[in-house]
Structure 1
Amino acid sequence: MTALKAHEVARFLTRPDLSEGIFLAYGPDTGLVRETAQTLVRQLSGEKGQGTEVVTFEGAELDADPSRLAVEARTPSLFGDKRIIRVRGATKSLVMTLTEIRDDPQGAVIILEAGNLTPKDALRALVDAARFGRSLPCYADSDETIAALIRDTFSKNGIRADGDVVTTLRETLGNDREITRRELEKLVLYAAQSKVLTVEDVVTLCADNAALVIDQIADAAGTGHAHKLDDAINRAIGNAVDPQRLLATSLIHFNMLRRLRAEVDAGRSARDVLDNARPRPHFSRRNALEQQLRLWTDPALANACERLQTATGESRRKPALAETLFRRTMLALCMAAAER
């Protein structure tokens, strides 16, 4: 009986202590579940995968006839001495069939992929209790594990990453393993010749550019930088971002500032408030947001929100004037910030 902890899975994958039996990769991070199963297939296939036959099922295929799994597990390989059966989307419908196999796998390897299972789930309980069974929990990556994955990927590919590349990627990618892998593969391919990555490369290739320019508009207005505001609005309009979306997101920004300002007025420092804000602001915006919390009082932010609400209402009644209304309103807010 071996139920691994989440932090033990990576070490187990480098050197599995079983060469046959039932392996259950489960958890809320479907990308990590899939990656764990793929790693197990490679590790248990032996050097270069020679002499191994891999049979893959979708869980739905077996739900109607779970006995097919037992037939496959007991069927000798046509091409070698090892047989790996992989089941994606495995459910408890396989429990009875797996009960027949768990104590005597006869050389078969069964790798199951499942969602987030509780300890009482019949499928997980069976594998947890089996002598020839290993359960591998796959939970969302933390900031630390994402950063380690990024550094390891770049190191293996001989890529030198400039200063804030790892931090920028960690903030941009979130914590889904499949998305992270896909984006890292794109960056590795991009840097295949130069072997160098910059923050600008990461922003260009991985970030949501529409979201970035919207943030730039809000921060330029909030800090009183008219030239930056004009440039950011022109980029947004040039990228076909709807002016009504720009109004809506600007209103969200100033409402967020008002909420954070209330915490500052209650006696907390701007830095502490931003450290504990949810959702957490991107690190690249920290200085701009701290400055805005110093510049804007609660009454001024209330007035800004009122102006944006009025402009939003007018833009809905007169869509053709939405861009003009947005530019005029944001410039007025920018000038108000510049005077503080």
Structure 2
Amino acid sequence: MSALKAHEVARFLARPDLTEGIFLAYGPDTGLVRETAQKLIRSLTGDDPESASLVVLDGSEVDADPSILAVEAKTISLFGGKRIVRVRGATKSLVMTLTELRDDPGGAAIVLEAGNLAPKDALRALVEAAKLGRALPCYPDNDETLTALIRETFNQQGIRVDADVIATLREILGNDREITRRELEKLSLYAASSKVLTREDVLLLCADNGALVIDAILDATGGGHAEKLELALNRALSSAVDPQRLLAMTTIHFANLRRWRVEVDAGKTPRAVLDGLRPKPHFSRAAALEQQLRLWTDSALAVASDRILQTTADSRRRPALAETSLRRALLAICMMAASH
């Protein structure tokens, strides 16, 4: 059986071409792995989920007693109905047992949940090669899939969103489907009565996830506020925000400052430059951005931009030192701003 591509999984879940066999949901997005397994089970049980016989096992249970998986798969339900065995935390230690069930699962559906598996992983290879096997890759949402999920969620609730809400949520969400779902449900509940959601609402309710803290890092760096920078960096990095992402955002920020500074040098006031931007920066950042345009000269911005680019290159060569390189570079640039 040829392996399913990530973009084919949703179509498969809507209409599975198998009702028995071994199904493997795997990938780095544990929330999406769990959601995929749940959707598959709902599809397999059809219109009568209550009649299904569902057994849930943990991978460690099966490791301790490999025979339990085969026993549960082959045990006929006293009340009939679809037999489904769900195994969480599945690993290649199940391969021997699954090999016995691969060609004759006895009508049962074995739904496995696993982490990110390499193509040559024994568990993934077994399922992909099995006639009665389907491997379902679960990778973090990209801009396209995340936008579709956001729109679908709010459309189902009849909630109207401002134009910049989706862009803001794309910055905040996407690393884990379960967290994304939870945050979207929270926003839907918040807007249940008004049926309107604004960017301010999103930042108020979801800021801890990333967007606001990244803005804080950028403005503290560009504004010369070392203490605020330290606090914002600690907050972002403790929330698993990738240092490479922060370097990329800082690169964009200083490129924008340099572009805007050209207009200031041509005679415009910083406020006039910011007012003329489309889309306009959020009003909460207007004062900080205006201050940065007054602090920095074009030549100083060029030096800062070079430092960021060099740090990005260094951190890619030595990923283990990415966080240290990020901290040093941003603090050095922050000190440049403070000295102006």
Q: 1:256 to 1:19 in 2, by over 3 A?
A: closer
Native 8 Å contact 2:172 2:211 kept in 1 = no
- Unmatched segments (≥5 aa) in structure 1: 225-242, 272-282, 305-329
TM-score normalised by length of structure 1: 0.69
Distance 1:190 1:104 in 2: 49
**Paired residue for 1:325?**
none
**Paired residue for 2:150?**
150
Native 8 Å contact 2:220 2:226 kept in 1 = no
**Paired residue for 2:76?**
76
Partner-residue secondary structure (3-state), 1:73: helix
1:46 positional shift: 1.0
**Paired residue for 1:246?**
228
**Paired residue for 2:184?**
184
Native 8 Å contact 1:88 1:113 kept in 2 = yes
TM-score normalised by length of structure 2: 0.69
Distance 1:335 1:182 in 2: 44
Q: 1:295 to 1:35 in 2, by over 3 A?
A: same
Identity %: 68
Distance 1:213 1:117 in 2: 32
Structure 1 residue 120 corresponds to structure 2 residue 108? no
**Paired residue for 1:44?**
44
Q: 1:256 to 1:182 in 2, by over 3 A?
A: closer
Distance 2:12 2:137 in 1: 12
Per-residue Cα deviation, 1:198-235 (whole angstroms, up to 9, x for no partner): 111111111129983784596389579xxxxxxxxxxx
Distance 1:212 1:93 in 2: 43
- What pairs up with 1:156-167 in 2 under 5 angstroms? 156-167=156-167
Native 8 Å contact 2:25 2:111 kept in 1 = yes
**Paired residue for 1:99?**
99
Q: 1:291 to 1:136 in 2, by over 3 A?
A: farther
Distance 1:284 1:11 in 2: 39
Distance 2:105 2:94 in 1: 15
Per-residue Cα deviation, 1:10-40 (whole angstroms, up to 9, x for no partner): 1111111001110000111111111100111
1:298 positional shift: 7.0
**Paired residue for 1:133?**
133
1:80 positional shift: 2.9
1:50 positional shift: 3.1
Q: 1:102 to 1:289 in 2, by over 3 A?
A: farther
Opposite residue 127 of structure 2, the aligned amino acid is V
Q: Which has the larger radius of gyration?
A: 1
Distance 1:295 1:128 in 2: 59
Structure 1 residue 12 corresponds to structure 2 residue 12? yes
Q: 1:247 to 1:6 in 2, by over 3 A?
A: closer
Distance 2:7 2:233 in 1: 42
Aligned residues: 276
Q: 1:174 to 1:214 in 2, by over 3 A?
A: closer
Q: 1:211 to 1:147 in 2, by over 3 A?
A: closer
Which stretch shows the higher mean deviation, 106-115 or 205-214? 205-214
Distance 2:301 2:125 in 1: 55
Opposite residue 137 of structure 2, the aligned amino acid is P
Q: 1:81 to 1:48 in 2, by over 3 A?
A: closer
**Paired residue for 1:229?**
none
1:5 positional shift: 0.8
Distance 1:209 1:137 in 2: 25
Q: 1:217 to 1:175 in 2, by over 3 A?
A: closer
1:153 positional shift: 0.7
Q: 1:213 to 1:21 in 2, by over 3 A?
A: closer
The RMSD of aligned alpha carbons is 4.1
Q: 1:115 to 1:193 in 2, by over 3 A?
A: same
**Paired residue for 1:228?**
none
